[in-house]
Amino acid sequence: MGKESCKDRWERLSETLSSLSISLLGTILFVLVISYFTLKGLGNAKITVPIQGVNVEITYPEMELPMDFDALYRVIILLSGTVLIGIPTPLLPENMKALKGGVALIQVAVFTYAFYSFIAIILELIEALA
């Protein structure tokens, strides 16, 4: 016998979007930390590499962080909003399926825009580093 869920499809959709949003927030934090370490942490670092018995010193240049922080802030706010919008969905009564559907569809729209903006930020970062 399988474990039956008493959630309807709108609650499951809302729960899935909240879970994806939380995962994406962790990914954004990882990208920020790695890009900061790569660009700021290594700025003006002198790295000595032995090549055929000769020590060659490489100076890592100082670089600006090629990231649109306003867009990143907007993505974080939107993803947090996606999670917060979905919190009351399981608490709504069964006879309000239209409201549950509306909340879930708003979550879909907000998550889609946040995900699109996140991909645009990552592509911009990759283009700047290439």
Note the pLDDT of residue 75.
92
Mean pLDDT within 28-48: 78
Alpha helices in 2-96 (DSSP H): 9-36, 69-86
Tell me the mean pLDDT in the region 43-67: 80
Question: In sequence order, which residues have a C-beta less than 8 Å from that of residue 41 and are 6 or more positions away?
Answer: none
- pLDDT the model gives residue 79: 92
pLDDT digits (tens, 9 = 90+) for 105-129: 999 999 999 999 999 988 888 887 7
Residue 89 CA to residue 9 CA, distance in Å, equals 11
Would you say residue 98 has pLDDT above 70? yes
Q: Which pLDDT does position 2 carry in this prediction? A: 55
Res 4: pLDDT: 63
